[in-house]
Chain A
Amino acid sequence: MRTYDCTASVLRYNMFTGIAILFIGMAMSILDTEYSMDVVWLGILVLILSPFIGILVTAMSLAIEKDTKWLTVAVILITVTTAGMVISIF
């Protein structure tokens, strides 16, 4: 059950961090502060990365639990997702 708790915690902290940065950026935007959109950009980036960070944490948890069967599945998924991104970029 460590896998569930670790993944949930990381997703929650990542989500709240992203939303908090977004709020700061939007507040800066209302106050017409310089770099406000850069802060919003950062908040959205943190949010976008959440699912991928979630898989990485799940894989680490499965490794700690020595669940090799599902760790292999997680590693394959990380490889496929990364390959998909690289192919799309180039």
Chain B
Amino acid sequence: MIAGLLILGVLAGILGTLFGIGGGIVFIPILTIVYGLTTTEAAAVSLIGIIATSTSATTFYLQKRVTNIRLGLLLEISTAIGAMVGAFMSAYIQDWALMMIFAIVILVSALRMTAGREKEVSSEKGEFTYYDLKREENVNYDVKNIKSGFAACSIAGMVSSMTGIGGGVIKVPIMNLHMGVPVRAAMATSNYMIGITAFSGAIIYFLNGHVLLDVAAFVVIGAFLGSLVGERVSKSVDGSSLRKYFSILLIFVSIIMFLQAGGIL
């Protein structure tokens, strides 16, 4: 059991650090199906694992100047508000319908990311700068569609809180496809944001005593180790490849959500 939890944490930590996703999509099915945890217990442990991955990855990406901390702060406001609205709305909307819509949105995002090419442009101008780990140079970029991106993140927060899955799988495409943020910076910024989102939920579960401390402890250590591996791997992958692998991950996530919507998972 201990080895399995550590491996689970490592896997989520690698995926989380590389792609800016929380890891809930990995944690929740395995904790409920393999370890027999209730949905509440699994969600509580999952959120703590996400915080471990996010904190470790964010430390690395902040030091390397990849994360756009200002954009992350801004978009997290609408995400948090959306999450609160979603928590209230969840009582009025059928889960399966929401899952189906969400799965379609993710699938379309995946196809768009596969079809489009990552812009690897370093211009003189640009309001923001990030350090490209693969190319080992600073890249300037501008963020477009801030207002609509802000609004889209509120929908992302809403859908995430209603389905329990979301976070990075929505935020990264919003930032990359819609707002023009380079994929690596979008993933690092998403990593920063999901830690804050997870904190809001985790602290409630924790104070209410829903956290299985021993399970969470091993998942945290695994996630921490996994994020260290993810940091090393991220240095050797360029933006275009990262985008391609992320698209594959999105397709996988959308399949899981279609199965959940159909009651198969």
Contact among A4, A26, A58 with B65 in the assembled complex (CB-CB below 8 Å): A4
- Inter-chain CA distance A88–B224, complex, in Å, is 28
Contact among B58, B65, B77, B198 with A11 in the assembled complex (CB-CB below 8 Å): B58
From DSSP, what is the main secondary structure of chain A's interface residues? helix
Chain A contacts for B81, CB-based, 8 A: 80
User: What count of chain B residues pass the 8 Å CB interface test?
Assistant: 42
Chain A interface size range = 35 or more
Chain A contacts for B206, CB-based, 8 A: 44-45, 48
Chain B contacts for A7, CB-based, 8 A: 62, 69
Residue of B nearest to A74 (CB): B73
B195 and A41: CB pair below 8 A?
no
A8 and B204: CB pair below 8 A?
no
Query: Using an 8 Å CB-CB cutoff, how does the interface string of B204-215 with A read, 1 for contact, 0 for none?
Result: 101100010110
A-B residue pair count with CB separations less than 8 angstroms: 122
- Inter-chain CA distance A54–B203, complex, in Å, is 15
Interface presence of B216 (CB below 8 A): yes
- Inter-chain CA distance A46–B181, complex, in Å, is 32
Q: Which A residues have a C-beta under 8 Å from some C-beta of B? A: 1, 3-5, 7-8, 11-12, 14-15, 18-19, 22-23, 25-26, 29, 37, 40-41, 43-45, 47-52, 54-55, 58, 70, 73-74, 76-77, 80-81, 83-85, 87-89
Write 17 A-B pairs (CB below 8 A) sorted by A numbering: A3-B69, A4-B65, A22-B221, A40-B214, A40-B217, A43-B217, A47-B220, A50-B51, A54-B196, A73-B74, A76-B77, A80-B81, A81-B196, A84-B84, A84-B200, A87-B84, A88-B201
